[in-house]
């Protein structure tokens, strides 16, 4: 694919990039690049497998048997069923947004309340096969598993993702994401996020140094001042 770098100014650099612990819009824009979920939404907003190779649902719709695809974290560690269990446990303990939907899993409430050391409804059959057992039928389960806050975490290494990009550099002023798959590249080979004031961001956008103004509110005069700049899906000012 075409190799290019996308430079995005941001008003601040997020201190946390965990899908479970993050709580700001800049982090939310980065997380989908570095993490993946069991299921994802297609362009028609319909859930489809992402990290899941195949799955089947029991007749009573209370047991989901899931087989994982072969996938590796940025560290090189192979994705396992234990990572999925750890992710769901972490989401429940941290009470992530919409965590209540996970309480349909057998034993989840007891785990959250500290009455159990594990979740009885998460049953690991092998390194790549597990079951989710529900207390009652919950047709929205797969849709809920597309939530980026349920991106699968490495049980052993913090902030280790499965997404197309990995964090290659991070300090208080800049984050650099690099595409880990150079052979099947989609999107830029590198995404650079640089902390910038709005004034500086607009100036450098007009000069062509920065490639979008996604995180800045622009008034009509500022929009007019951009002139006849050619904008595409990656190079656009965001207005509200």
pLDDT tens digit string along 123-140?
999 999 999 999 999 999
pLDDT of amino acid 222: 80
Decide: 163 and 34 in contact? Cβ < 8 Å.
yes
For the residues 168-174, what does the mean pLDDT come to? Answer: 95
pLDDT of 233: 42
- Assigned token pair, 232: 């595409």
- Kindly tell me if the per-residue pLDDT of 188 is higher than 70: yes
Taking the model in full, what pTM does it have?
A: 0.88
**Could you give the 3-state DSSP secondary structure of residue 32?**
helix
Query: Among residues 171, 169, 193, 167, which one has the least CA distance to residue 180?
Result: 167
**Which secondary structure element, helix H or strand E, spans residue 174, and what is its range?**
strand 174-179
How many Å apart are CA 6 and CA 180, to the nearest integer?
15
**213 contacts 26 by C-beta, under 8 angstroms:** no
What does the block give as tokens for 9?
């100014």
113 or 223, which is more confident?
113
What's the rounded Cα separation, in Å, for the pair 217 and 55?
Answer: 44
Q: Which of 149-153, 191-195, 232-236 comes out lowest in average pLDDT?
A: 232-236
Question: What is the Cα 6 distance to its own chain's centre?
Answer: 19
182, with CB counted inside 10 A (0-12, 13-18, 19+), is exposed
Whole-number Å distance between alpha carbons of 47 and 146: 7
Structure tokens at 155: 């049980």
Q: What is the C-alpha separation between 52 and 130, in angstroms, rounded?
A: 11
202 vs 71: CA distance, rounded Å: 40
User: Do β-strands 5-10 and 190-195 pair in parallel, antiparallel, or remain unpaired?
Assistant: parallel
pLDDT at 2: 59
């Amino acid at each position: 694919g075409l190799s290019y770098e996308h430079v995005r100014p941001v008003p601040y650099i997020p201190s946390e990039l965990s899908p479970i612990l993050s709580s700001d819009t800049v982090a939310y824009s980065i997380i989908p690049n570095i993490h993946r979920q069991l299921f994802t939404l297609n362009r028609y907003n319909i859930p489809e497998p992402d990290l899941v190779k195949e799955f089947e649902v029991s007749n009573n719709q209370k047991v989901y048997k899931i087989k994982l695809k072969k996938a590796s974290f940025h560290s090189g560690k192979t994705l396992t069923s234990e990572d999925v269990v750890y992710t769901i446990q972490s989401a429940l303990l941290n009470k992530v947004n919409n965590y209540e939907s996970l309480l349909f899993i057998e034993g989840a409430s007891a785990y959250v309340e500290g009455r159990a050391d594990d979740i009885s409804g998460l049953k690991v059959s092998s390194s790549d096969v597990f079951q989710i057992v529900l207390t009652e039928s919950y047709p929205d389960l797969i849709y809920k598993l597309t939530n980026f806050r349920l991106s699968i975490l490495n049980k052993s290494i913090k902030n280790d993702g499965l997404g197309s990009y990995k964090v290659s550099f991070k300090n208080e002023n800049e984050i650099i994401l690099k595409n880990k798959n150079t052979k099947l590249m989609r999107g830029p080979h590198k995404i650079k996020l640089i902390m910038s004031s709005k004034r500086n961001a607009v100036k450098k956008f007009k000069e062509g140094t920065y490639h979008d103004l996604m995180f800045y509110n622009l008034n009509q005069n500022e929009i007019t001042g951009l002139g006849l700049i050619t904008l595409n899906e990656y190079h656009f000012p965001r207005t509200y």
